Structure 1
């Protein structure tokens, strides 16, 4: 009963954060604005999120704004745009934010390929820039270092998340996974996005970690789910309808893992028994699914720590201090063994609602 109570508390807290994010009726083209007094109360910060409807980025954005407000920034001066997963829209939003006189930019890029153009716009206008969640290319990051740009990336190493997914699968054991007893793990891979660095690393390292442990694998389906639950459901359901029965579904994020669970259930199969599913992010619904046995495990993409470090990096720049060009955070494995610990950590680590209503 105590475990369930803690679970419901976490679900309620995180669901409230998501609802709060939705309550402002955010549209992709219009900014969210709206505070508190302090030394930063007159400072303008512009934020672009690749797609504001993304559940994980909603949690990230809410925590980011709340933390900035807790440090004295005015909510009226924190302008947040959703970029509708479009590079051209994001670039126009960056230009608009610069024209509006922002003092700093925090950007979740649509793709790594758009980062160079965003960097050039920020640097040419003397505006410090912090990238979040989606890492630009190594070549782009080297450019920041070579030219001393006030640009940094805050995020986790996606290779680690792939490795942790592989380890979560290995923890299940070959005897448990190998339902047909052929000594080979048949699997579906549902990838995030074609040009996304994180998606590529998660795909590569999850599989290589399992194979490097001596487990033979056979990929029955490898499709792009665009980080979306419904798309993933359709892809997995189509694979099952063709008679492809995997023992494992590896998804680059939790939204797609939840979609895979939906498809498995609609196919009259039992997730966590007939087919195992793993994801990345530790969304509140995924935490509940782990508790229920529908999802074998996920990897906590610590949006609380990342958003705080991104805001701290902005403040360092505003104070005239520099930052490392790469500010890293660690992922954490989540399974039935430690889900209670992770839930309590999430519940106790946030910055509070901070009056946030975007």
Structure 2
């Protein structure tokens, strides 16, 4: 997995591996993708015995702001934030800047991305790219199946206050507005807050309402799997529905190998986590960090799933 971060970042971090004091880490919520990202942070930090203080906000922005305040009060040497709500990033950026503490955003794009300044950075992936790759593949598969006339789909969104959900969802609309894919029609779209249980409940409600989509397009894999569980519980044959997610999580790869999930998009969780620690170390040492640093997404489908099954 180190290969992917080096491949994406070139030699940006190659000279910085020394101890940088305490680093506070504030993560937006708990899920399987973020668990892998945090493990990437821990593994990178362990290489140089770099201390990390890791806190989870469980999707509560006020809790996350308090965690950042506590890091500042503890005089940590750098802070890494996977922000709960992108709109809150200017507040966090100012808090860290006023305290003179370097700041690294990871994964969720801050709304003030272009105004971070030299003591802050962002490492992540272009979320619009993820939604575009996902939806174009759904379009291709539906066409291949001969379902290229008035194809109704359901869209399951993440936390709408996060740029990742906003951009992934917008990409769905942008792709189906193109001549190649305008046969696709959105029946309904609702948020399940990245949560598989909420996605399962949402899908159950849609089934109860009589919706019969040809595809379900989710902003992440966990919600896609929740929807699959609901459809299977209702006795639906998964061969009749195209289901798509994003992240290429380990569980999602198992579902794809079993024939239940049709599309995912690999997001380098370990690369993002490792890169955020490397950036925080450099900034804490008053070294320059290129920002933003974009790590590419990659399409995953049944044809290449085995390649990705062991990555996350």
4+ residue stretches of structure 1 with deviation over 3 A? none
8 A contact 1:251–1:278 mirrored in 2: yes
1:141 is aligned to 113
Please show how residues 1-358 of structure 1 align to structure 2 within 5 Å: 39-40=18-19, 43-51=21-29, 53-73=30-50, 77-137=51-111, 140-144=112-116, 148-176=117-145, 178=147, 183-212=149-178, 213-271=180-238, 273-344=239-310, 346=311
8 A contact 1:135–1:198 mirrored in 2: yes
CA distance in 1, matches of 2:142, 2:69: 52
Residue-by-residue CA offset, 1:263-302 (whole Å, 9 max, x unaligned): 111111022x121110001111100111111000100111
CA distance in 2, matches of 1:167, 1:221: 19
- The alpha-carbon distance between structure 1 residues 175 and 333, as it changes in their structure 2 partners (threshold 3 A), is closer
Higher relative contact order (CA 8 A, sep 6+): 2
Q: CA deviation at 1:211?
A: 3.7
Q: CA deviation at 1:176?
A: 1.4
Q: CA deviation at 1:175?
A: 4.8
8 A contact 1:169–1:210 mirrored in 2: no
SS across alignment from 1:135 = coil
Structure 1, unmatched stretches of 5+, are 1-37, 348-358
- Name the TM-score, length of structure 2 as normaliser: 0.90
Structure 2, unmatched stretches of 5+, are 1-16
Q: CA deviation at 1:185?
A: 1.1
8 A contact 2:55–2:67 mirrored in 1: yes
CA distance in 2, matches of 1:114, 1:266: 39
The 10-residue stretch of structure 1 (167-176 or 335-344) with the greater mean CA deviation from structure 2? 167-176
CA distance in 1, matches of 2:130, 2:118: 28
CA distance in 1, matches of 2:84, 2:43: 23
Q: CA deviation at 1:135?
A: 0.3
Matched positions, count: 295
What is the aligned-residue RMSD (CA, Å)? 1.7
8 A contact 2:142–2:242 mirrored in 1: no
